């Protein structure tokens, strides 16, 4: 499977609990943190849920 890199670009301070939990599940806890994941349907669903807080890096 393809790999994707995800960078957190916005704070999760004023976000709902479910979005905070999604960010932690993705491994993003600090601003500008970058994580790499397999592009599975589950991961892509999480990315879609918090797309306003992250940036997908090529």
pLDDT on residue 9: 98
CA-to-CA distance for 51 and 42, rounded, in angstroms?
Answer: 14
pLDDT on residue 22: 98
Tokens 């999604």 correspond to 22
Rounded to whole angstroms, what are the CA distances from 22 to 12, 19, 57, 58?
10, 5, 18, 21
Which CATH number among 3.40.50.300, 2.40.128.110, 3.30.1390.20, 3.50.70.10 corresponds to the domain 3-57? 3.30.1390.20
> Quick check: 58 pLDDT over 80?
no
pTM reported for the whole predicted model:
0.92
Query: How confident is the model over 1-52, as pLDDT tens digits?
Result: 899 999 999 999 999 999 999 999 999 999 999 999 999 999 999 999 999 9
Percent above pLDDT 70 for the chain: 100
DSSP states of 18-54:
HHHHHHHHHT--STT-EEEEE--HHHHHHHHHTTTTE
């Amino acid at each position: 499977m393809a790999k994707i890199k995800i960078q957190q670009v916005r704070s999760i301070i004023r976000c709902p609990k479910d979005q905070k939990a999604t960010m932690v599940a993705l491994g993003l806890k600090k601003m500008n943190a970058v994580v790499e994941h397999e592009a599975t349907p589950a991961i892509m669903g999480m990315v879609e849920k918090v797309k306003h807080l992250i940036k997908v890096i090529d």
